[in-house]
Amino acid sequence: MKKKACIFALLVISTFIFSSFIPLYNFNKETGIWEKGYYSLSPVAEIDAFRRFERIEDSEEGEVAFSTAQSVFPEEAEVFNIVLAQNSIAGTLVVWNDKEFLYVEFNLNPDLFMEESNVNCTVMPPDKNPVPGQFDYKTVHNPQTGHYLYEIPLISLNPPEHAWETGTELYILAHAVVNGTFNGNSLFKETAWCGDIEWDGGGKWFWYLKYEIEEPPSYICVDLSGTLSSWFVRKPGDYFANPITGSIKASHDFAITFSGFNNLVEELTGETMEIFYSFSENSPSIDQWIGALDLNLFNIDLPATEGMVFNIWQRIINDNQSTGVYSNGGVITFTLKNVQIEIVE
Protein backbone atom coordinates (compact mmCIF):
# COMPACT_ATOMS: atom_id res chain seq x y z
CA MET A 1 0.00 0.00 0.00
CA LYS A 2 1.27 3.48 -0.84
CA LYS A 3 0.49 6.61 1.12
CA LYS A 4 1.18 10.13 -0.07
CA ALA A 5 3.08 12.15 2.46
CA CYS A 6 4.44 15.63 2.94
CA ILE A 7 7.91 16.03 4.36
CA PHE A 8 8.00 19.13 6.50
CA ALA A 9 10.08 21.10 8.96
CA LEU A 10 8.76 23.41 11.64
CA LEU A 11 10.60 26.55 12.69
CA VAL A 12 9.44 28.46 15.76
CA ILE A 13 10.30 32.17 15.71
CA SER A 14 10.02 34.17 18.91
CA THR A 15 10.46 37.93 19.26
CA PHE A 16 10.81 39.90 22.46
CA ILE A 17 10.75 43.67 22.40
CA PHE A 18 12.48 45.89 24.97
CA SER A 19 18.13 44.52 22.01
CA SER A 20 19.29 46.47 19.36
CA PHE A 21 20.62 44.87 16.22
CA ILE A 22 23.69 46.20 14.50
CA PRO A 23 22.98 47.72 12.05
CA LEU A 24 19.52 49.00 12.95
CA TYR A 25 17.33 51.08 10.62
CA ASN A 26 15.17 53.93 11.95
CA PHE A 27 12.53 55.78 9.91
CA ASN A 28 13.04 59.58 9.92
CA LYS A 29 9.62 61.20 9.62
CA GLU A 30 11.12 64.58 8.71
CA THR A 31 13.14 63.31 5.73
CA GLY A 32 10.87 60.40 4.86
CA ILE A 33 13.79 57.97 4.54
CA TRP A 34 15.19 55.06 6.48
CA GLU A 35 18.43 55.90 8.28
CA LYS A 36 21.03 53.23 8.95
CA GLY A 37 22.71 53.59 12.31
CA TYR A 38 24.83 51.68 14.78
CA TYR A 39 22.96 51.97 18.04
CA SER A 40 24.41 51.22 21.48
CA LEU A 41 21.12 50.97 23.32
CA SER A 42 21.91 47.57 24.80
CA PRO A 43 24.01 44.44 24.31
CA VAL A 44 23.77 42.77 20.91
CA ALA A 45 20.57 40.86 20.30
CA GLU A 46 20.30 37.39 21.79
CA ILE A 47 20.48 34.80 19.02
CA ASP A 48 20.20 31.08 19.60
CA ALA A 49 23.16 28.93 18.59
CA PHE A 50 23.27 27.89 14.93
CA ARG A 51 20.65 25.23 14.37
CA ARG A 52 20.07 22.64 11.66
CA PHE A 53 16.75 20.92 11.21
CA GLU A 54 17.18 17.26 10.22
CA ARG A 55 14.76 14.43 9.45
CA ILE A 56 14.70 12.01 12.40
CA GLU A 57 11.74 9.67 12.12
CA ASP A 58 8.65 8.69 10.16
CA SER A 59 5.29 9.08 11.83
CA GLU A 60 2.41 6.60 11.54
CA GLU A 61 0.75 8.82 8.92
CA GLY A 62 3.85 8.72 6.74
CA GLU A 63 4.92 12.24 7.66
CA VAL A 64 8.53 12.95 8.53
CA ALA A 65 9.37 14.85 11.69
CA PHE A 66 12.32 17.19 12.10
CA SER A 67 14.35 18.35 15.06
CA THR A 68 17.44 20.41 15.80
CA ALA A 69 19.54 17.32 16.46
CA GLN A 70 22.99 17.16 14.92
CA SER A 71 23.16 15.61 11.49
CA VAL A 72 23.66 11.85 11.24
CA PHE A 73 24.40 9.44 8.41
CA PRO A 74 21.48 9.24 5.98
CA GLU A 75 19.00 6.47 6.71
CA GLU A 76 19.73 4.94 3.29
CA ALA A 77 23.48 4.65 3.93
CA GLU A 78 25.02 1.17 3.93
CA VAL A 79 27.69 0.31 6.50
CA PHE A 80 30.57 -2.14 5.96
CA ASN A 81 33.50 -3.30 8.07
CA ILE A 82 37.03 -1.99 7.72
CA VAL A 83 39.06 -5.22 7.99
CA LEU A 84 42.57 -4.81 9.37
CA ALA A 85 45.30 -7.47 8.96
CA GLN A 86 42.88 -9.94 7.36
CA ASN A 87 40.53 -10.63 10.28
CA SER A 88 40.27 -7.69 12.74
CA ILE A 89 37.54 -5.04 12.58
CA ALA A 90 39.10 -1.57 12.73
CA GLY A 91 36.12 0.65 11.93
CA THR A 92 33.33 1.18 9.42
CA LEU A 93 32.99 2.28 5.82
CA VAL A 94 29.73 4.14 5.10
CA VAL A 95 28.41 4.31 1.52
CA TRP A 96 25.47 6.25 0.08
CA ASN A 97 24.58 8.42 -2.91
CA ASP A 98 22.54 11.46 -3.91
CA LYS A 99 21.68 12.80 -7.37
CA GLU A 100 25.27 13.72 -8.22
CA PHE A 101 27.72 11.86 -6.01
CA LEU A 102 28.61 8.51 -4.49
CA TYR A 103 29.87 9.01 -0.94
CA VAL A 104 32.44 6.63 0.55
CA GLU A 105 33.39 7.50 4.12
CA PHE A 106 36.15 5.89 6.19
CA ASN A 107 35.66 5.91 9.98
CA LEU A 108 38.44 4.20 11.94
CA ASN A 109 38.28 3.20 15.59
CA PRO A 110 39.93 5.54 18.14
CA ASP A 111 43.77 5.55 18.14
CA LEU A 112 43.92 4.38 14.51
CA PHE A 113 44.93 6.70 11.67
CA MET A 114 45.17 6.46 7.88
CA GLU A 115 48.42 7.31 6.16
CA GLU A 116 46.76 6.87 2.78
CA SER A 117 43.46 5.67 1.36
CA ASN A 118 42.37 4.44 -2.05
CA VAL A 119 38.97 3.80 -3.66
CA ASN A 120 38.01 2.23 -6.99
CA CYS A 121 34.53 1.64 -8.44
CA THR A 122 33.70 -0.63 -11.38
CA VAL A 123 30.65 -2.36 -12.82
CA MET A 124 32.54 -5.65 -12.99
CA PRO A 125 33.70 -7.67 -9.95
CA PRO A 126 37.46 -7.95 -9.37
CA ASP A 127 39.14 -10.83 -11.24
CA LYS A 128 42.67 -10.44 -9.88
CA ASN A 129 44.62 -8.93 -7.01
CA PRO A 130 44.11 -5.14 -7.10
CA VAL A 131 46.87 -2.52 -7.00
CA PRO A 132 45.67 0.37 -4.76
CA GLY A 133 48.20 2.78 -6.26
CA GLN A 134 46.35 2.46 -9.59
CA PHE A 135 42.89 3.19 -8.17
CA ASP A 136 40.93 6.13 -9.60
CA TYR A 137 40.63 7.88 -6.23
CA LYS A 138 43.52 8.07 -3.77
CA THR A 139 44.68 10.41 -1.02
CA VAL A 140 47.84 10.76 1.05
CA HIS A 141 46.75 11.98 4.47
CA ASN A 142 49.12 14.49 6.03
CA PRO A 143 48.42 14.79 8.86
CA GLN A 144 47.09 11.28 9.28
CA THR A 145 43.40 10.98 10.04
CA GLY A 146 40.87 8.47 11.32
CA HIS A 147 38.08 9.88 9.15
CA TYR A 148 37.84 10.72 5.45
CA LEU A 149 35.01 11.22 2.98
CA TYR A 150 35.26 10.66 -0.78
CA GLU A 151 32.71 12.43 -3.00
CA ILE A 152 32.78 10.49 -6.27
CA PRO A 153 30.83 11.79 -9.30
CA LEU A 154 28.28 9.29 -10.58
CA ILE A 155 30.19 8.63 -13.78
CA SER A 156 32.82 6.07 -14.72
CA LEU A 157 36.36 7.41 -15.24
CA ASN A 158 37.30 4.46 -17.41
CA PRO A 159 36.50 4.61 -21.16
CA PRO A 160 33.93 4.40 -22.43
CA GLU A 161 32.75 6.94 -19.86
CA HIS A 162 29.12 6.55 -18.85
CA ALA A 163 26.85 7.69 -16.04
CA TRP A 164 25.99 5.38 -13.18
CA GLU A 165 22.21 5.60 -13.24
CA THR A 166 19.79 4.44 -10.56
CA GLY A 167 19.99 0.66 -10.29
CA THR A 168 23.62 0.41 -11.44
CA GLU A 169 25.51 -2.21 -9.42
CA LEU A 170 29.02 -1.11 -8.48
CA TYR A 171 31.86 -3.14 -7.06
CA ILE A 172 33.82 -0.94 -4.68
CA LEU A 173 37.40 -1.56 -3.58
CA ALA A 174 38.33 0.58 -0.57
CA HIS A 175 41.85 0.29 0.85
CA ALA A 176 43.85 2.11 3.55
CA VAL A 177 47.31 2.05 5.10
CA VAL A 178 46.80 2.27 8.87
CA ASN A 179 49.04 3.26 11.79
CA GLY A 180 48.29 3.61 15.48
CA THR A 181 47.33 1.40 18.41
CA PHE A 182 44.98 -1.57 18.16
CA ASN A 183 44.13 -3.93 21.04
CA GLY A 184 47.11 -2.53 22.96
CA ASN A 185 49.57 -3.19 20.14
CA SER A 186 51.33 -0.54 18.05
CA LEU A 187 50.78 -0.73 14.29
CA PHE A 188 52.96 0.58 11.49
CA LYS A 189 51.78 0.59 7.86
CA GLU A 190 49.21 -2.14 8.36
CA THR A 191 46.89 -2.93 5.45
CA ALA A 192 43.11 -2.51 5.71
CA TRP A 193 40.41 -3.42 3.20
CA CYS A 194 36.69 -2.67 3.43
CA GLY A 195 33.59 -4.66 2.60
CA ASP A 196 31.63 -7.83 3.21
CA ILE A 197 32.89 -9.99 0.32
CA GLU A 198 36.20 -11.80 0.84
CA TRP A 199 38.41 -12.51 -2.17
CA ASP A 200 38.85 -16.22 -2.75
CA GLY A 201 40.74 -16.18 -6.03
CA GLY A 202 44.20 -16.74 -4.59
CA GLY A 203 47.16 -14.41 -4.15
CA LYS A 204 46.98 -11.56 -1.66
CA TRP A 205 43.99 -11.18 0.65
CA PHE A 206 41.45 -8.35 0.28
CA TRP A 207 37.80 -7.59 0.84
CA TYR A 208 35.38 -5.63 -1.36
CA LEU A 209 31.69 -4.72 -1.49
CA LYS A 210 28.78 -4.40 -3.91
CA TYR A 211 26.59 -1.30 -3.86
CA GLU A 212 23.54 -0.41 -5.98
CA ILE A 213 23.02 3.23 -6.93
CA GLU A 214 19.72 4.23 -5.33
CA GLU A 215 17.06 6.76 -6.19
CA PRO A 216 18.09 9.80 -4.12
CA PRO A 217 15.94 10.28 -1.01
CA SER A 218 13.62 13.22 -0.56
CA TYR A 219 14.95 15.81 1.85
CA ILE A 220 14.67 19.35 3.08
CA CYS A 221 17.30 20.96 5.29
CA VAL A 222 16.96 24.39 6.89
CA ASP A 223 20.03 26.12 8.31
CA LEU A 224 19.35 29.11 10.59
CA SER A 225 21.39 31.71 12.42
CA GLY A 226 18.84 31.60 15.25
CA THR A 227 15.18 31.23 16.22
CA LEU A 228 14.90 33.91 18.93
CA SER A 229 15.41 37.66 18.60
CA SER A 230 15.24 40.30 21.33
CA TRP A 231 15.09 44.09 21.06
CA PHE A 232 15.67 46.74 23.72
CA VAL A 233 14.15 50.04 22.59
CA ARG A 234 14.49 53.19 24.70
CA LYS A 235 12.54 55.72 22.64
CA PRO A 236 9.62 55.78 20.19
CA GLY A 237 10.35 55.18 16.51
CA ASP A 238 9.94 52.97 13.49
CA TYR A 239 12.79 50.43 13.36
CA PHE A 240 13.76 47.43 11.27
CA ALA A 241 16.66 44.95 11.18
CA ASN A 242 17.67 41.57 9.79
CA PRO A 243 18.12 39.44 12.92
CA ILE A 244 17.72 35.99 11.34
CA THR A 245 19.28 34.57 8.18
CA GLY A 246 19.41 31.05 6.82
CA SER A 247 19.62 28.74 3.84
CA ILE A 248 17.50 25.91 2.45
CA LYS A 249 18.39 22.73 0.57
CA ALA A 250 15.47 20.77 -0.87
CA SER A 251 15.24 17.81 -3.23
CA HIS A 252 11.83 18.87 -4.60
CA ASP A 253 9.72 21.98 -5.01
CA PHE A 254 8.54 23.20 -1.62
CA ALA A 255 6.20 25.65 0.08
CA ILE A 256 6.68 27.94 3.08
CA THR A 257 3.64 28.76 5.22
CA PHE A 258 3.14 30.68 8.45
CA SER A 259 0.93 30.31 11.52
CA GLY A 260 0.54 31.73 15.01
CA PHE A 261 1.97 35.19 14.25
CA ASN A 262 0.44 38.22 15.94
CA ASN A 263 1.34 41.71 17.02
CA LEU A 264 3.49 41.97 20.12
CA VAL A 265 1.62 41.96 23.42
CA GLU A 266 2.76 43.31 26.79
CA GLU A 267 2.51 40.40 29.20
CA LEU A 268 1.02 42.38 32.11
CA THR A 269 -1.13 45.12 30.56
CA GLY A 270 -2.16 43.50 27.28
CA GLU A 271 -1.02 46.60 25.35
CA THR A 272 0.07 45.81 21.77
CA MET A 273 2.84 46.92 19.43
CA GLU A 274 2.85 46.41 15.66
CA ILE A 275 5.44 44.11 14.10
CA PHE A 276 6.05 43.41 10.40
CA TYR A 277 8.10 40.84 8.50
CA SER A 278 9.83 40.72 5.12
CA PHE A 279 11.87 38.12 3.24
CA SER A 280 13.53 40.36 0.65
CA GLU A 281 17.15 39.90 -0.41
CA ASN A 282 18.07 43.51 0.39
CA SER A 283 16.60 46.18 2.68
CA PRO A 284 12.83 45.94 2.20
CA SER A 285 10.88 48.69 0.47
CA ILE A 286 7.71 49.98 2.10
CA ASP A 287 5.49 47.66 0.05
CA GLN A 288 7.48 44.53 1.00
CA TRP A 289 6.47 44.51 4.66
CA ILE A 290 3.80 42.05 5.81
CA GLY A 291 1.87 42.59 9.02
CA ALA A 292 1.99 39.83 11.62
CA LEU A 293 -1.67 38.85 11.17
CA ASP A 294 -1.48 38.97 7.36
CA LEU A 295 1.61 36.77 7.49
CA ASN A 296 -0.58 33.85 8.61
CA LEU A 297 -2.35 34.04 5.23
CA PHE A 298 0.91 34.30 3.27
CA ASN A 299 2.63 31.40 1.47
CA ILE A 300 5.72 31.11 -0.70
CA ASP A 301 6.20 28.48 -3.44
CA LEU A 302 9.80 27.77 -4.44
CA PRO A 303 11.65 25.28 -6.69
CA ALA A 304 14.07 22.57 -5.57
CA THR A 305 17.39 24.06 -4.55
CA GLU A 306 20.88 23.04 -3.43
CA GLY A 307 21.41 26.13 -1.29
CA MET A 308 19.00 29.08 -1.36
CA VAL A 309 19.85 31.89 1.09
CA PHE A 310 17.02 33.83 2.76
CA ASN A 311 16.48 36.64 5.26
CA ILE A 312 13.80 37.16 7.91
CA TRP A 313 13.59 40.93 8.37
CA GLN A 314 11.64 42.38 11.32
CA ARG A 315 10.15 45.85 11.72
CA ILE A 316 8.57 47.32 14.86
CA ILE A 317 6.71 50.57 15.44
CA ASN A 318 7.12 51.91 18.97
CA ASP A 319 4.42 54.56 19.13
CA ASN A 320 4.77 55.75 22.74
CA GLN A 321 3.57 52.46 24.23
CA SER A 322 4.12 51.90 27.90
CA THR A 323 7.43 50.48 29.04
CA GLY A 324 7.28 46.71 29.35
CA VAL A 325 8.05 43.35 27.79
CA TYR A 326 6.23 42.79 24.51
CA SER A 327 6.44 39.32 22.96
CA ASN A 328 5.03 36.96 20.37
CA GLY A 329 6.03 33.74 18.59
CA GLY A 330 5.06 32.03 15.39
CA VAL A 331 5.64 28.88 13.36
CA ILE A 332 7.13 28.69 9.86
CA THR A 333 6.48 25.40 8.06
CA PHE A 334 8.59 24.13 5.13
CA THR A 335 6.77 21.45 3.10
CA LEU A 336 8.11 19.38 0.21
CA LYS A 337 5.70 18.92 -2.69
CA ASN A 338 4.89 15.83 -4.76
CA VAL A 339 6.70 13.46 -2.41
CA GLN A 340 5.48 9.91 -2.07
CA ILE A 341 6.59 7.42 0.55
CA GLU A 342 6.08 3.74 -0.24
CA ILE A 343 4.95 1.66 2.72
CA VAL A 344 5.18 -2.10 2.28
CA GLU A 345 2.84 -4.12 4.48
Q: Residues 92, 152: contact at Cβ < 8 Å? A: no
- Give, for 104, the enclosing helix (H) or strand (E): strand 101-108
- Residue-range domain boundaries for the chain: 2-70+220-236+253-276+288-342, 78-212
In sequence order, the 6+-apart residues with CB closer than 8 A to the CB of 62 are 3, 4, 5, 341, 343
Q: Give the Cβ contact number of residue 313 at 10 Å.
A: 22
Identify the DSSP state of 123. Answer: S
Tell me: the pLDDT tens digits for 255-278?
999 999 999 998 889 999 999 999
pTM of the model: 0.54
**227 vs 200 pLDDT, higher one:** 200
Residues 6+ apart with CB under 8 A from 202: none
pLDDT 10s digits, 69-123:
223 456 678 999 999 988 899 999 999 988 889 999 999 999 999 999 999 999 9
Amino acid identity for residue 91 in this structure: G
Contacts 24+ apart (CB under 8 A), 30-37: 34/240, 34/283
What is the length of the chain?
A: 345
As to burial, measured by CB atoms within 10 angstroms (0-12 exposed, 13-18 middle, 19+ buried), residue 67 is middle
Please name the fold of domain 78-212. Immunoglobulin-like (2.60.40)
